[in-house]
Amino acid sequence: MDAAEGPDAGLPPDREDVVAALLAHQRRFLAFVERRVGSRAVAEDLLQTAFARTLEKGGALKDGEGAVAWFYRLLRNALVDHHRRQAAEGRALEVEARDADAATGDLELKGAVCACLTDLLPTLKPEYATLVRQVDLEGRAVPDVAREVGITPNNAGVRLHRARLALKRSLERGCGACAAHGCLDCSCKPRR
């Protein structure tokens, strides 16, 4: 919330004092959040989101100093949610890193990729094909590919999972029993 907007930026008169009280403590709020997240930019984002929620749920506001205490509770809840999201993202990256290490373990198997896979890859959605090609065939890390494509690592992990399932179904339809047993000596022609 920008102090230049003023407390009377289209708010009902009974809420002006609440917004004025919150704006008077804006720097304290920012320092409170920044100490807990370690980043000014993240703190500003969290604070802005909290201010927006406050204005959306104006009916829950107390007046004056009561609003400040209420807002600190709102900020604490926002911090808990932020840290939970960070922890979940970290766990997902760890799992993906372990999967990537396991996938690179057998280079000989990578060299024996079924020719049908290469033929069926273009039939996937382009964003799925890109992930499968870069992660599974080229051996790149999911976070690196995600950053390059402009999505979060979690989103990339979900897309990769869906891409693998779609590719598996296509291989099973096209190769039948060959796909179920490994495709190492594949001589089938995929049906399209």
pLDDT of residue 23: 86
* Chain position carrying tokens 């094909």: 129
Backbone angles phi, psi at 72, to 5 degrees: -60, -40
Q: What pLDDT digit, counting tens, does each position of 85-125 carry? A: 888 888 887 887 777 666 555 544 455 556 677 778 888 89
pLDDT of residue 51: 86
pLDDT of residue 10: 47
pLDDT of residue 29: 92
Low-confidence ranges of the chain (pLDDT < 50): 1-10, 107-109, 190-192
pLDDT of residue 58: 61
Domains of the chain with bracketed CATH: 13-95 (1.10.1740), 115-174 (1.10.10.10)
CA 147 to chain centre: 11
pLDDT of residue 63: 61
What pTM, to 2 d.p., does this model score?
0.43
